[in-house]
């Protein structure tokens, strides 16, 4: 009940006090904002400059991260021969053109590339076969090679 009375009368009170104080000029908007913050005008201006600088730093970091992600996406597009994306190119250009990947991402990409190269090799394909023991296969190959060398040494034709 008190809430309803306050909302109904509060608005009327504000209108009434606003019309009574109409002869007063509020002056500079910065001064009233500075006084509301409890600062002097110089402190308030310094505070505003600091806010603007922090916002610019955050925007620069955000742009850099977007460019790094775009570089990563373009790397994978090149790797898998996918069509290029115009937005990625523009994000890289906005960040200054030459964007380096973070070390962690570059390391992950390098590890993935090494794994794919290993799988693409003949030994990688053999290792992926189930029931195949590469250690015993290697031992057998070395034993066979040793036998061939011994028999080549005993051969009279050579």
Is residue 17 predicted with pLDDT exceeding 70? no
What pLDDT sits at residue 148? 82
Is 29's pLDDT higher than 80?
A: no
Report residue 2's pLDDT band, with 50, 70 and 90 as the boundaries.
low
CA distance 138 to 140: 5
Lowest-pLDDT range of 11-15, 80-84, 103-107, 152-156:
11-15
**What is the residue-wise DSSP string for 88-150?**
HHHHHHHTTS--PPPHHHHHHHHHHHHHHHHHHSHHHHHHTSTT--HHHHHHHHHHHHHHHHH
Q: What share of the chain has pLDDT > 90, as a percent?
A: 11
Helix H or strand E encompassing 129: none
Selected residue with higher pLDDT from 1 and 111:
111
pLDDT value at residue 151 = 80
HSE value, Cβ hemisphere, 13 Å, CA-based, for 139: 4
Better pLDDT: 157 or 78: 78
Give the integer Cα–Cα distance in Å for 24 and 64. 50
pLDDT in tens, 43-66: 889 999 999 999 999 999 999 889
pLDDT exceeds cutoff 50 at 26: no
Q: Is the dihedral of CA 73, 78, 81, 87 positive or negative?
A: positive
Measured between alpha carbons, how far apart are the two ends of the chain, in Å? 116
């Amino acid at each position: 009940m008190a809430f309803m009375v306050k909302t109904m009368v509060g608005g009327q009170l504000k209108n009434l006090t606003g019309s009574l104080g109409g002869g007063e000029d509020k002056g500079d908007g910065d001064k009233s904002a500075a006084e509301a913050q409890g600062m002097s005008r110089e402190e308030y201006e310094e505070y505003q400059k600091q806010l603007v600088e922090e916002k610019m730093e955050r925007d620069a970091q955000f742009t850099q991260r977007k460019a790094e992600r775009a570089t990563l996406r373009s790397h994978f597009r090149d790797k898998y021969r996918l069509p290029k994306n115009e937005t990625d190119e523009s994000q890289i250009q906005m960040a200054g053109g030459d964007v380096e990947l973070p070390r962690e991402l570059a390391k992950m990409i390098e590890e993935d590339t090494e794994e794919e190269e290993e799988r693409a090799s003949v030994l990688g394909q053999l290792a992926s076969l189930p029931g195949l023991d590469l250690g015993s296969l290697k031992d057998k190959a070395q034993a066979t090679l040793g036998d061939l060398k011994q028999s080549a040494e005993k051969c009279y034709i050579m």
